[in-house]
């Protein structure tokens, strides 16, 4: 993990948030290469689940929502993690992340029985487990607590802890405007905010992250077959589009006591990160929990009328949900490779071509030869016009350029040399095999 973090900062993938001021825990900034990788991952997901289907529609809901949203969803009452405080050094931790063999529903007695020592001071002197709600609060409007404490309390809003509720609150809008046939889905990508007790493990556990979620609305009698279809589609997306290795993905059927309060079945897709196995994405059967709660809180019907049978019912929901940063790290972890070329260690990101920030790097063999530079610029313009994501590099010698492009995951390096001026061919060097072949410019 340390090597990946170092590479990300050195090559402009990911920086600590507010780094120039000493950082800000749980936040990360994506640099030029990182934002391109992240966008490509999000675009692949959108193309796979939305653009290439007739039954899933996209929305982009507001981050700030009516606070009743979070009452109806149960977040104000249940969106909490087990917080424990060391009495010696006053450090606070999420109990289930520092002790082995316990779940989020751990009690004080169960935690104390693990005899866990404080990661900061090494002592074993803990206070009781307390539930800590992870939603960030803010105030909407110009009223301050000093002006009117009661009114200020009414003006409290939350930064959304998930993108799902923005989908559920738009369910009726989609039904009334698009008139979709059931089953159908609504998809959203966007920011979510969680006040993590102890953010850790690079971009695995953040206070600000991006999510990609689908709420797939089905007839209550067909949820099992639809669940299995989406289950397979998620596997195919991770393995085929993201290039993850099947052996690195473990499917965990979540026990009833560990499932979210709304779920009747949940499968966690666990991934073998460098620091251990962690959740990558989840697939949950949410029943009609959310729509029934919205109907109760809003007083408006969430029923759907089947166009063919005329049957009226409240749909049930299957939800695939994935954190973008966790997927970025899974892709980087899979791609990160160390090998040896001519006795020299080489670091290479073997990113799939569809995700690599640059598909080609174009270089003149020598940057002090105007004729080579001019021809290289010509080739660069041709490739850029066709592929867009093409970079230029004329710094250092050709070996150093190769090493740099290997580290950032560029699949092919195209080098213009003196033979190019004679016969119109260039050297194309492959990132993974390091083999070099002569190719006509017209064949690129």
pLDDT of residue 84: 94
pLDDT of residue 136: 92
pLDDT over 90 at 116, yes or no: yes
Give every CB contact of residue 414 below 8 A, 6+ residues apart in sequence.
Answer: 360, 361, 362, 363, 379, 383, 426, 427, 428, 429, 444
pLDDT of residue 342: 79
Residues 266-291 have pLDDT tens digits of 999 999 999 999 999 999 999 999 99
Region(s) of the chain under CATH 3.30.40.230: 80-133
User: Which residues share a beta bridge with 80?
Assistant: 133
pLDDT of residue 76: 85
pLDDT of residue 149: 67
Cβ–Cβ < 8 Å for 268, 137: no
pLDDT over 90 at 331, yes or no: yes
- CATH code that applies to domain 358-443: 3.40.50.800
Region(s) of the chain under CATH 3.30.930.10: 2-73+142-332
- CATH code that applies to domain 80-133: 3.30.40.230
Lowest mean pLDDT, pick from 62-66, 136-140, 346-350, 404-408: 136-140
**Could you give the CA distance from residue 161 to residue 143 in angstroms, rounded to a whole number?**
24
- CATH code that applies to domain 2-73+142-332: 3.30.930.10
Alpha carbon dihedral 293, 296, 297, 302, in 10-degree steps, equals 70
Lowest mean pLDDT, pick from 233-247, 281-295, 332-346: 332-346
Per-residue pLDDT averaged across 190-213, rounded?
Answer: 92
Per-residue pLDDT averaged across 397-409, rounded?
Answer: 95
Task: Give the pair of three-digit tokens for residue 154.
Answer: 């009414």
pLDDT over 80 at 144, yes or no: no
Per-residue pLDDT averaged across 247-271, rounded?
Answer: 90
Report the chain's mean pLDDT, rounded to a whole number: 93
Per-residue pLDDT averaged across 101-125, rounded?
Answer: 91
Taking alpha carbons only, the member of 81, 98, 43, 58 closest to residue 357 is 43
pLDDT of residue 77: 80
Alpha carbon dihedral 268, 96, 77, 173, in 10-degree steps, equals -20
Per-residue pLDDT averaged across 209-224, rounded?
Answer: 97
pLDDT of residue 152: 64
How many alpha carbons fall within 13 Å on the CB side of residue 250?
10
Work out whether the CA dihedral 16, 19, 23, 28 comes out positive or negative.
negative
Residues 131-140 have pLDDT tens digits of 888 899 988 8
Per-residue pLDDT averaged across 435-441, rounded?
Answer: 95
Report the 10 Å Cβ neighbour count for 393.
19
Per-residue pLDDT averaged across 125-145, rounded?
Answer: 86
Task: Give the pair of three-digit tokens for residue 133.
Answer: 């709600």
Lowest mean pLDDT, pick from 33-42, 76-85, 246-255, 293-302: 76-85
Cβ–Cβ < 8 Å for 213, 321: yes
Per-residue pLDDT averaged across 417-431, rounded?
Answer: 95
Tell me what percent of the residues of the chain surpass a pLDDT of 90. Answer: 83
pLDDT of residue 325: 97
> Which one has a higher pLDDT value, 341 or 216?
216
Confidence band for 145, pLDDT divided at 50, 70 and 90: low
Cβ–Cβ < 8 Å for 333, 274: yes
Q: Is the pTM of this model over 0.75?
A: yes
Residues 305-322 have pLDDT tens digits of 998 899 999 999 999 999
């Amino acid at each position: 993990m340390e090597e990946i973090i170092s590479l990300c900062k050195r090559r402009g993938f990911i920086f600590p948030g507010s780094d120039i001021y000493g950082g800000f825990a749980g936040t990360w900034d994506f640099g030029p290469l990182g934002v391109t990788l992240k966008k490509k991952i999000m675009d692949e997901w959108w193309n796979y689940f939305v653009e290439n289907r007739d039954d899933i529609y996209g929305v982009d809901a507001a981050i700030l929502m009516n606070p009743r949203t979070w009452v109806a969803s149960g977040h104000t009452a249940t969106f909490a993690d087990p917080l424990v405080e060391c009495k010696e050094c006053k450090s606070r931790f999420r109990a289930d992340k520092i002790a082995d063999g316990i779940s989020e529903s751990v009690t004080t007695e169960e935690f104390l029985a693990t005899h866990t020592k404080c990661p900061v001071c090494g002592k074993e002197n803990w206070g009781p487990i307390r539930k800590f709600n992870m939603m960030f609060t803010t105030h909407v409007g110009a009223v301050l607590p000093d002006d009117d404490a009661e009114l200020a309390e009414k003006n409290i809003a939350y930064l959304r802890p998930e993108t799902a509720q923005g989908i559920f609150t738009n369910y009726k809008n989609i039904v009334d405007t698009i008139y979709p046939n059931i089953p159908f889905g609504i998809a959203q990508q966007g920011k979510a905010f969680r006040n993590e007790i102890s953010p850790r493990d690079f971009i695995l556990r953040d206070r600000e992250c991006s999510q990609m979620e689908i709420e797939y609305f089905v007839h209550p009698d067909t949820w099992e077959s639809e669940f299995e279809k989406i289950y397979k589609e998620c596997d195919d997306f991770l393995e085929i589009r993201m290039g993850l290795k099947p052996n690195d993905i473990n499917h965990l059927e979540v026990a009833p006591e560990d499932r979210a309060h709304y779920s009747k079945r949940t499968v966690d897709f666990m991934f073998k990160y460098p620091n251990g196995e962690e959740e990558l994405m989840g697939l949950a059967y949410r029943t009609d929990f959310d729509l029934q709660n919205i109907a109760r809180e809003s007083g408006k019907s969430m029923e759907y009328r089947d166009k063919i049978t005329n049957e009226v019912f409240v749909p049930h929901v299957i939800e695939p949900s994935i954190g973008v940063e966790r997927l970025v790290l899974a892709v980087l972890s899979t791609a990160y490779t160390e090998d040896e070329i001519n006795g020299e260690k080489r670091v290479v990101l073997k990113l799939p071509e569809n995700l690599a920030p640059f598909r080609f790097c174009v270089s003149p063999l020598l940057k002090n030869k105007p004729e080579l530079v001019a021809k290289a610029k010509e080739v660069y313009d041709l490739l850029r016009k066709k592929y867009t994501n093409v970079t230029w590099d004329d710094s250092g010698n050709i070996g150093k350029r190769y090493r740099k492009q290997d580290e950032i995951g560029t699949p092919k390096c195209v080098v213009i040399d003196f033979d190019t001026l004679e016969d119109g061919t260039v050297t194309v060097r492959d990132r993974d095999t390091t083999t070099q072949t002569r190719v006509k410019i017209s064949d690129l």
